[in-house]
């Protein structure tokens, strides 16, 4: 699920209405217990963080992402395209997220201090993302068109959170900056303290950022691990991709344009399953089961 396909705008957004008949506004599922250390075999398979993340301070990337996310939320509110906090699907997304959060710091200690936020945007796009600093967005289209189970939602959320934890956006921005300006110039630019102008520039860049195939594969592995520890069945990664391909008649949408497609994509997930299934088997399972929207129109 690619790079900032994620941070596309809401130009194609459609109005979001509360789904009638789904008045199950219950309390979110309790968070999972503190995470044990990440399995060393999984960590080695994922690999080390790229040196390019050091080109840009994490605080500045997270600040820019938070600013961009707030702007998206404001614009969606003005257009009546942001789901209310008591919307059934918002409750669902936040319940899944609360089970994933505790396992994030094992992959990135900075996640302990992130101000996590989950929003549902009224767009027909099949899309979701997690910005640096833990700003998570789902679009109505991905929930309604694919009729996702809770496990499948967790697979998507785990994958997107993994991008943020592995700082793929910061890595890509660092690579771009190093290519265009050179490491020394980048260091001097980001040492000037002009955070306001910098945040605006970064926010615009985040909107068009694309991840590499290697980043996507890494996010798949970390995301499956996060979701499994949170009590969601990682086999849903297979059914999710089957739905993706079926919905697009075999051609991946923009949401997953940098991924391997078709049978090879599913086979890659199946190879990882033996590594994460034991985590799922040991994990406490969610006490509350939600479900997809009853109508693609909301």
pLDDT digits (tens, 9 = 90+) for 61-107: 888 889 999 999 999 999 999 999 999 999 999 999 999 999 999 99
Assess if residue 169 is contained within a domain.
Answer: yes
Assess if residue 14 is contained within a domain.
Answer: no
Measured from the Cβ of residue 80, the count of other Cβ atoms closer than 10 Å reads 11
Assess if residue 211 is contained within a domain.
Answer: yes
Residue 296 in this model has a pLDDT that exceeds 70: no
* 138-154: pLDDT as tens digits: 999 999 999 999 999 99
CA distance 209 to 5: 8
Most confident stretch, 17-31, 70-84, 185-199 = 70-84
Higher pLDDT, 278 or 29: 278
Assess if residue 123 is contained within a domain.
Answer: yes
List the one residue out of 172, 221, 150 whose CA is nearest residue 4: 172
Place of tokens 């998570």: 136
Higher pLDDT, 260 or 158: 158
Assess if residue 87 is contained within a domain.
Answer: yes
**Residue 103, pLDDT score:** 95
Residue 25 in this model has a pLDDT that exceeds 80: no
Assess if residue 7 is contained within a domain.
Answer: no
CA distance 19 to 16: 9
Model pTM score: 0.75
Angle at 161 between CA 240 and CA 48, to 5 degrees: 110
CA distance 82 to 60: 26
Domains in the chain, number: 1
* 40-61: pLDDT as tens digits: 666 666 666 665 555 578 888 8
Assess if residue 23 is contained within a domain.
Answer: no
Stretch 169-194: mean pLDDT = 54
Residue 18 in this model has a pLDDT that exceeds 60: no
DSSP structure string for 44-85: HHH-PPPGGGGGS-HHHHHHHHHHHHHHHHHHHHHTT-B--T
Backbone phi, then psi, for 268, in 5-degree steps? -60, -40
Could you give the percent of the chain with pLDDT greater than 70? Answer: 61
Look up the domain containing 80 and give its range: 40-47+55-282
Cα–Cα distances (Å) from 57 to 132, 169, 191, 199, 272, in that order, read 12, 12, 9, 12, 32
- Rounded to a whole number, what is the largest CA-CA distance in the chain? 59
Stretch 13-20: mean pLDDT = 35
Q: Name the token pair of 86.
A: 């008591």
Q: Which entry of 45, 75, 152, 160 is annotated as an active-site residue?
A: 160
Assess if residue 292 is contained within a domain.
Answer: no
* 214-259: pLDDT as tens digits: 778 888 889 999 999 999 999 999 999 888 888 766 555 555 555 5
Is 160 one of the catalytic residues?
Answer: yes
List the one residue out of 210, 209, 208, 195 whose CA is nearest residue 64: 195
Angle between helices 213-229 and 168-181 (to 10 degrees): 160
């Amino acid at each position: 699920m690619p790079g900032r396909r994620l941070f596309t705008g809401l130009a194609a957004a459609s109005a979001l209405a509360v789904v009638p008949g789904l008045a199950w506004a219950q309390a979110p599922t309790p968070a999972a217990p503190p995470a044990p250390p990440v399995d060393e075999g999984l960590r080695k398979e994922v690999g080390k963080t790229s040196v390019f993340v050091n080109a840009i301070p994490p605080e500045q990337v997270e600040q820019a992402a938070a600013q961009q996310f707030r702007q998206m939320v404001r614009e969606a509110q003005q257009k009546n395209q942001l789901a209310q906090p008591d919307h059934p699907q918002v409750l669902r997304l936040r319940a899944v997220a609360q089970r994933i959060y505790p396992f994030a710091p094992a992959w990135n200690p900075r996640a302990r201090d992130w101000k996590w936020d989950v929003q549902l945007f009224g767009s027909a796009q099949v899309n979701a993302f997690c910005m640096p600093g833990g700003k998570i967005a789902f679009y109505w289209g991905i929930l309604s068109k694919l009729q996702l189970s809770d496990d499948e939602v967790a697979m998507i959320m785990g994958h997107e959170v993994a991008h943020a934890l592995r700082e793929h956006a910061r890595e890509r921005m660092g690579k771009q900056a190093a290519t265009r300006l050179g490491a020394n110039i980048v260091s001097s630019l980001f040492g000037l303290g002009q955070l306001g102008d910098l945040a605006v520039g970064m926010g615009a860049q985040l909107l068009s950022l694309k991840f590499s195939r290697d980043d996507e594969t890494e996010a798949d592995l970390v995301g499956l691990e996060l979701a499994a520890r949170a009590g969601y069945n990682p086999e849903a990664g297979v059914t999710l991709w089957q739905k993706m391909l079926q919905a697009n008649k075999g051609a991946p949408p923009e949401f997953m344009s940098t991924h391997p497609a078709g049978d090879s994509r599913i086979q890659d997930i199946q190879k990882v399953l033996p590594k994460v299934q034991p985590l799922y088997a040991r994990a406490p399972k969610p006490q509350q089961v939600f479900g997809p929207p009853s109508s693609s129109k909301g």
